[in-house]
A = this chain, B = another copy of it.
Amino acid sequence: MTTSREWHLTRRPHGEPVDEDFALVDVELPEPGAGQVVVRNTFLSVDPYMRGRMNDVKSYVPPFELDKPMDGEAVGVVEAVGEDAVDATGAPISVGDTVIHPLGWRTRALLPAKHARVLDTDLAPAQAFLGVLGMPGLTAYAGLLRVAEFTEGDAVFVSAAAGAVGSLVGQIARLKGASRVVGSAGGPEKVQWLQDDAGFNAAVDYKAAPIRQGLAEAAPEGIDIYFDNVGGDHLEAAIGALRQNGRAALCGAISVYNNTEAAPGPRNMAMIIGKRLTLRGFIVSDHRDLRPQFEAEVGQWLAEGKIAWRETVVDGIENAVEGFRGLLTGGNTGKMLIRL
């Protein structure tokens, strides 16, 4: 018998989530049965898509249930193993192994071993598999290369560029021969990091001036691809800047996730016609087939030191909600993590 502290959603947030929407609950976990493991989580992932799961709206992932633990990706160390436990790849799983699994938002998880995957921590620290080598990384890779059909010489603009997904989008574009890579982020520190460390050609502080103006200055000859993590004004600005046959991969709309009323869309939708633009939404889980290729290519770049990646770490299970709220308001550079 062991214990876990887990976050429950107790009320559906209206607008920005507040403390009263959540409760931190102590539970006891039984010993693992056959095929099960208990994992002591070391890092929890908080991701923008989780805001959508807090609403009672049918979407591509089901909403969180009220008064039940929330879930999400996590990495941790196996503490106890039931009989006949093998991981998602069929590999044996042992006490002390570092694994990734889908039961985050808690300190310890009891789960079927086949829902976990043993990680090779020689390649990168465990938490990298929640970010640059994980779901956010694959999102960047699939969205840029498959959904937006990047080809060498394209000029690329990405929003939320200092985030886990955006920072990789820009760097993959650079490494694949983009003619120009422009990112937007909030505040001078992020802009500095994008330009100095992540190798973006230009970065725009969207809080300093309207993004349309900033983008026009940063990409005066226009763009071929827009990778959208933000929606709203950013999407309108990008439609204005896209050149003929341009493509937008729509990945997220963090600017509207906390909205309580539907915000108007881009005022320049008619430009999509004359410029023959393509806007395409996507969900990373449809592109899992790219994972081996992604891990090989990005893993290689990481090993060669060609990719800059950052983490913003919030310590303690009791601060997980606060960390999540900070993510929605841009409090992170790179991957936002809760460290336990």
Residues from chain B with a CB closer than 8 A to the CB of A252 are 273
Q: How many residues of A contact B (CB 8 A)?
A: 34
Q: Tell me the minimal C-beta distance from A147 to chain B in angstroms.
A: 9
Beyond contacts A236-B265, A264-B264, A265-B265: 11 other A-B pairs, Cβ-Cβ < 8 A, are: A60-B274, A251-B273, A253-B270, A264-B267, A265-B267, A265-B269, A266-B269, A271-B281, A272-B281, A273-B283, A276-B281
Q: How far is the CA of A219 from the CA of B98 in the complex (A)?
A: 50
Within A264-302, the residues touching B (CB, 8 Å) are 264-283, 286
CA distance in complex: A79, B271 (Å): 41
Tell whether, in the assembled complex, residue B235 and residue A256 are in contact, meaning their CB atoms are under 8 Å apart: no
Say if the beta carbon of A263 comes within 8 Å of chain B.
yes
- 15 A–B contact pairs at CB < 8 A? A59-B274, A235-B269, A253-B273, A262-B267, A264-B267, A273-B281, A273-B282, A274-B283, A276-B280, A276-B281, A276-B282, A277-B281, A278-B281, A279-B279, A279-B280
Kindly state whether residue A231 has any CB partner on chain B within 8 Å.
yes
Contacts of A281 in B (CB 8 A): 271-278
A250 interfacial by beta-carbon distance below 8 Å: yes
- A274 to chain B: which residues have CB within 8 Å? 52, 59-60, 281, 283
Q: Which residues of A51-66 are within 8 A (CB) of B?
A: 52, 59-60
Query: Shortest distance in angstroms between A208's beta carbon and chain B's nearest beta carbon?
Result: 24
Give the residues in chain B near A286, CB-CB below 8 Å.
276
Query: A250 touching B268 by the CB < 8 A rule?
Result: no
- Chain B residues closer than 8 Å to A253, beta-carbon distance: 269-270, 273
Contacts of A60 in B (CB 8 A): 274-275
> A278-B279, A279-B278 given as contacts; is B273 within 8 A of A250 (CB)?
yes
List the B side residues contacting A277 at CB < 8 Å.
Answer: 280-281
Closest to A235 in B: B269
For A269, the closest partner residue in chain B by CB is: B265
CA distance A283 to B60 in the complex (A): 32
